[in-house]
Amino acid sequence: MLEIKSLKKNFVSKNKQGKNIEKTAVRDLNLTIDEGEIFGLLGPNGAGKTTTIRMLTMLTKPTAGEILYKGKDIFSDELNVKKYIGVVPQHINFDQDLTVWENMELHGRLHHIPKSERHARIEELLNYVELQDRVNDKVKSLSGGMKRRLLIVRALMHNPKILFLDEPTVALDPQVRRRIWDLIRRLPKDGVTVVLTTHYIEEAENLCNRVAILNKGSLIKLDTPKALCEQIGKYVVEWDSEESREYKFFNSRKECADFAGTLDVATTIRHSNLEDVFVELTGRTVS
């Protein structure tokens, strides 16, 4: 559905001496995102995730490379392609003094949806996220979780085929986050392909069919969460040294137990997870 070929983005910035220098935010990125999947972009700060999403949503033009939607370059027909994408930003960007209904109504009008269809769609979506009882409330009166749900359904107003989610559950408590997860999981069943960025590794592990891990602008690994975990080892031995928490990966519990038996400290044996993969691939130290 969505193909990214040799994508590159350079920026010009000033160094400490005030001279212009060229920096590469995304370098030679190649990806294919399949129809109906939930696809995750992971990486530390500065990895190129946001820049990639900005290019995929046509907010930024690439320095080089192609982005193809159903085989056609998205920048050759921007207006038409934008009909098929929805964007959920990280930051809340409603008109806070308008009601829930008025914000949805405005978005529907911007997409030129006919009145009868628009109103039916608003009712359908607000029921979808259980906000039908808040239609006349101003957005500023909603909780953080309600605003997040409203952001998602506003982006679904025009029936997009691809939904881009930038940190969809940032700053939400665990219960609300899991409600948002349930909502996201339902989207492919309704024919929506989802591309999300998140700093919550558990979120990507629970939601994504496949995950791309970026670091310093480059793709370093792409696979299912399960396959990525198996590549470093299915099991982990953890223990505390004098300086830090240490861990070592193995393919079986027996190997873990044998190794743990050589240590003169308390150990923990557990399954590896996507956070382990992320740390191993992007570095154990903070740059």
- In tens, the pLDDT along 54-69 reads 999 999 999 999 999 9
Q: How is residue 1 annotated by DSSP?
A: -
Contacts for 166 with CB less than 8 Å, ≥ 6 apart: 50, 53, 87, 88, 89, 90, 196, 197
% of the chain beyond a pLDDT of 90: 85
Q: SS3 for 98?
A: coil
pLDDT, residue 283, reads 78
Q: Using CA atoms, how far apart are residues 250 and 234, in angstroms rounded to an integer? A: 6
- The per-residue pLDDT for 17 is 80
Q: What does the pLDDT look like over 191-245, one tens digit per residue? A: 999 999 998 999 999 999 999 999 999 999 999 999 999 999 999 999 999 889 9
Residue 16: the pLDDT is 80
Q: Which residues of the chain have pLDDT under 70?
A: 284-287
CA dihedral 138, 144, 149, 154 (to 10 degrees): 50
Distance CA 128, CA 42 (A): 28
Q: How many residues does the chain have?
A: 287
Rounded-to-integer distance, Cα 258 and Cα 238, Å: 13
Residue 250: which H helix or E strand, with range? strand 245-250
The predicted pLDDT at position 286 comes to 41
Q: What angle do CA 56, 95, 161 make, to 5 degrees?
A: 30
Residue 284's pLDDT is 52
